[in-house]
Amino acid sequence: METTLRGVGVSHGVAIGEVRHMGTAVLEPPAKQIPSDEAPREQGRARQAVEAVAADLLARGNLAGGEAQAVLEAQAMMAQDPELMADVERRIAVGSTAERAVYDAFAAYRALLAGAGEYLAGRVADLDDVRNRIVARLLGVPMPGVPDSDEPYVLIARDLAPADTALLDPTLVLGFVTEEGGPTSHSAILARALGVPAVVALPGAGELAEGILIAVDGSTGEIFVAPSEEKQAELALAAEERKAALAASSGPGATSDGHKVPLLANIGGPADVPAAVEAGAEGVGLFRTEFLFLDDSTKAPSEEKQFEAYRQVLEAFPEGRVVVRVLDAGADKPLDFLTPADEPNPALGVRGLRTLLDHPDVLRTQLTALAKAAAGLPVYLEVMAPMVADRTDAKAFADACREAGLRAKFGAMVEIPSAALRARSILQEVEFLSLGTNDLAQYTFAADRQVGAVARLQDPWQPALLDLVALSAEAARAEGKSCGVCGEAASDPLLACVLTGLGVTSLSMGAAAIPYVRATLAKHTLAQCERAAAAARAADTAEDARVAAQAVLSGE
């Protein structure tokens, strides 16, 4: 009998296939004691397993490239954490086996993360995956992970570790569904990069029977269990219509009456550029430069290394627009040489621009490298600061840009509610705003973007979030300046129309979403977008906002 479930759709498309469940986690090793003379051998086994797992994660990252590579490199650093390794060796010295020592040391660290504020608590799933991989290697059992199958399937998991998501084979994994996660979790971001339909935050997903047929709509978040042939045909037809609309859509982003809305790509580095170019991106709306800094957490990359990466990206968009976000370190992106290890709540501490203003040499080197990379190119370079709270922050960043001799537009990201509320004041110091809706939602609703239990508050359709977007866009229009969106909200085609109606002047997203957004914008006039935006803001819930906007845009 057909039933319908609803989670959070995070990656467009429809997948119809049989359920396969993620491999089970490694069992807890027995707590047996070893003689003291065996401790050196066990310590050696532990070190070898850690290094092997770190090397495997790095190799997976090199294969995946782009944002996935940065995520996996961060996991490799987690595996090699010297304090964790020292704790493992201490436990072995007092009688634990290598596998038990790893299990217990990671459990202690896990407890620290879980109680260290929601940002770091969101890294627990990544930590568990590293632990499972090390313990599996020590026990000589298969790695937990994606099931072996010769036939295509829909993958079901409690959560997906980045190491698994990064190398999913789209020819076998038709789509995936997770119980945990949110619209801006690592799994969601990597799913969009792969172009695999995905639904997250679906309670009870693990109870779906192995082998049962399901249909996954990554746009609506709906899961159809045991769908009828009629439902399958209906979904397949809708998918074909979407494909046809995408194929017919090309050129710059615009509404049906010619109002231009540049569609830009979010990238993590040069590896992401080919997909952005292929999707027809009109430039880059968010270049996340922190991925350059994750190779070595003990020191910043050299000016020359930064120059080379920036130059590759800038050369790919001749006469296009490239918006670079300077290093956004801290919270869930700690760097040993920059961020304090003992902050009680890193998400509300020294992160983003605050970190850079505390380390002006790091900011100066980055801005100098950007200035040199742009020299002689016709590209329109724009540089923005993360986590700007007020006009004082904006002025400090603009001053640093000028002192570095940077010939570019300077901008501020709106990720903190205070920046949206005082956007006009901030625009006295900078030339544009860019809304990071992921963090703006997180700080507006006190809801961690990695925690599935609060996913409804991370929904970018929340009317309160739309109000803050409208405030920012109105301030920019009053000052004759631009206000874009570079958060994942821009990748929702329907919401892209609403954002346009709110006065947003450009939209930046993962490359895979650009054709969907372009095709949807082209169906509606600016006036329709404005009416849809007003209807969404008048609602009281995210779901009501979505329904109200859809009704306007469908002419109901």
**Which uninterrupted H or E stretch holds 81?**
none
Residue whose token pair is 């009828």: 228
Parallel, antiparallel, or unpaired: how do β-strands 153-157 and 14-21 relate? parallel
**What is the number of other CB atoms lying within 10 angstroms of the CB of residue 184?**
24
Is the model more confident about 161 or about 44? 44
Rounded to two decimals, what is the model's pTM?
A: 0.69
Q: What would the pLDDT profile of 516-540 be if each residue is shown by its tens digit?
A: 899 999 999 999 999 999 999 999 9
Measured distance CA(75)–CA(81) in Å, rounded:
10
Q: What would the pLDDT profile of 62-118 be if each residue is shown by its tens digit?
A: 776 766 777 788 788 888 888 889 999 999 999 999 999 999 998 888 777 666 544
Average pLDDT over residues 121-138: 78
For residue 51, what pLDDT is reported? 92
**3-class DSSP string for 416-457:** CHHHHHCHHHHCCCCCEEEECHHHHHHHHHCCCCCCHHHHHH
For residue 30, what pLDDT is reported? 86
| Average pLDDT of the residues of the chain | 88
Report yes or no: 319 and 379 within 8 Å, Cβ to Cβ: yes
Greatest CA separation for the chain: 79
Q: What would the pLDDT profile of 175-229 be if each residue is shown by its tens digit?
A: 989 988 777 666 777 777 777 899 998 988 989 988 999 999 988 899 999 999 9
For residue 17, what pLDDT is reported? 94
For residue 26, what pLDDT is reported? 59
For residue 230, what pLDDT is reported? 92
Average pLDDT over residues 18-40: 84
**Which uninterrupted H or E stretch holds 285?**
strand 283-288
Q: What would the pLDDT profile of 298-314 be if each residue is shown by its tens digit?
A: 788 999 999 999 999 99
Average pLDDT over residues 271-276: 89
For residue 119, what pLDDT is reported? 43
Measured distance CA(453)–CA(2) in Å, rounded:
26
List Cα–Cα distances, 215 to 2, 197, 225, 418, in angstroms.
10, 10, 7, 42
Average pLDDT over residues 41-57: 91
For residue 67, what pLDDT is reported? 64
pLDDT value at 422 more than 50: yes
Is the model more confident about 18 or about 72? 18
pLDDT band for 269, please (50, 70, 90 cuts).
confident
List Cα–Cα distances, 135 to 25, 28, 92, 143, in angstroms.
10, 9, 14, 9
Helical segments of 316-436, H only: 353-358, 360-374, 391-403, 417-421, 423-426
Q: Is 186 a catalytic residue?
A: yes
Catalytic residue among 12, 359, 401, 486: 486
Q: Is 486 a catalytic residue?
A: yes
For residue 114, what pLDDT is reported? 63
**3-class DSSP string for 307-323:** HHHHHHHHHCCCCCEEE
Measured distance CA(285)–CA(266) in Å, rounded:
6
Q: Which of 509, 473, 476 has its CA nearest to residue 493?
A: 509
pLDDT band for 56, please (50, 70, 90 cuts).
confident
Average pLDDT over residues 44-56: 92
Q: Let me know the angle formed at the C-alpha of 144 by 142 and 148, rounded to the nearest 5 degrees.
A: 75
Measured distance CA(56)–CA(48) in Å, rounded:
12
Measured distance CA(323)–CA(264) in Å, rounded:
9
For residue 503, what pLDDT is reported? 98
Share of the chain above pLDDT 70, in %: 91
Q: Which of 8, 28, 346 has its CA nearest to residue 182?
A: 8
pLDDT band for 292, please (50, 70, 90 cuts).
confident
Lowest mean pLDDT among 27-36, 235-244, 409-418, 499-508: 235-244
Share of the chain above pLDDT 90, in %: 56
pLDDT band for 473, please (50, 70, 90 cuts).
very high
3-class DSSP assignment, residue 126: helix
